[in-house]
Amino acid sequence: MSTTSFWLIRHAIVEENARAVLYGTMDVELCPTSLIEQQPMYAGLARRLPRPAAWIVTPLSRTWRTAEAIFAAGYPAAALAEEPDLIEQGLGEWQGLPHEELPARLTMPAHPFWPHGGRERPPGGESMSDVILRVGACLERLADRHAGEDVVAVAHGGAIRAAVAHALDIEADNALHLSVQNLSLTRIERTPEGWRVVCVNELPGY
C-alpha cells in the first residue's frame, strides 16, 4: 500500500444572507467582497498545494468556485472530479432555518462549539456521526483509487471535521471541537501503517 496524501480545503465564505441560516447542503453563493479581499489566501494556496494532484470538489457550486479562484490565483488549472460523499452535513428539515430558531428544535444538548451535538440527527437529515461514516468510507475509496498520489479536495467544514475524525478514530462530539475556517488547509494521509493527521486549519497566505 502506498501513501495517499489528502489536502483538504474548506470553501470560501458564503454570502451574508446565507450565513444567517442553517444552509447545510443548500447551494448558496460565495461572498463577492471576500472573493476580492482574500486574494492573498488564494495565492497562498496556489503556491502551497502540490503539483501534480488529483482535484476533487462536491456537487455544491461554492466548492467549484473556490477551486476556480485558486486556479485564477496561479495554480495550473486542473480537471475537477465531483465527489458527492464529501458534501456538507445534510440538515433535512432544518435547512434554511434561522439560527435563533434552532434551540427549540433540539432533542439533545447543544455542543459548546457547534449549534447541535454530534449525535443529533435533524428530521430527514444526518447526524455528525453519520457524516463521519460517509466521509470515512469515501476517503478509503479515494485512497485506493489514488494510491501514492496527492489529492486536493475542496469541501466543507463538516466533511473536513469528519475526515479528521476518521483519521484519528474519534467520536463526533470530539470532532466538533476542531476549528475549520474558510480557505483553511487540513492535511491527512493514509500510509501503509494507517491514517495520520499532518495539520489542521492551516491558513496560507498570511
Digit-by-digit pLDDT tens for the chain (206 residues) are 799 999 999 999 999 999 999 999 999 999 999 999 999 999 999 999 999 999 999 999 999 999 999 999 999 999 999 999 999 999 999 999 999 999 999 999 999 999 999 999 999 999 999 999 999 999 999 999 999 999 999 999 999 999 999 999 999 999 999 999 999 999 999 999 999 999 999 998 65
Q: What CATH number has the domain bearing residue 141?
A: 3.40.50.1240
64: three-class secondary structure by DSSP:
helix
How far from each other are the two terminal CA atoms of the chain, in whole angstroms? 36
Supply the pLDDT for residue 100. Answer: 96
The pairing of strands 185-191 and 4-10 is antiparallel
The domain in which residue 64 lies consists of 4-202
CA 166 to CA 86: how far, in whole Å?
A: 13
Supply the pLDDT for residue 18. Answer: 95
Supply the pLDDT for residue 206. Answer: 54
Closest CA to 53 of 35, 72, 67: 67
Supply the pLDDT for residue 204. Answer: 82
pTM over the 0.85 mark: yes
Q: Which pairs count as long-range contacts for 72-75, CB under 8 Å and 24+ apart, including other chains?
A: 72/42, 73/39, 73/42, 73/43, 73/45, 73/46, 74/43, 74/46, 74/47, 75/45, 75/46, 75/49, 75/51
CA 1 to CA 83: how far, in whole Å?
A: 23
Supply the pLDDT for residue 205. Answer: 66
How many domains, the chain?
1
Backbone angles phi, psi at 122, to 5 degrees: -60, 150
Supply the pLDDT for residue 1. Answer: 75
96, 25 in Cβ contact below 8 A? no
Residue written as grid cell 447551494: 27
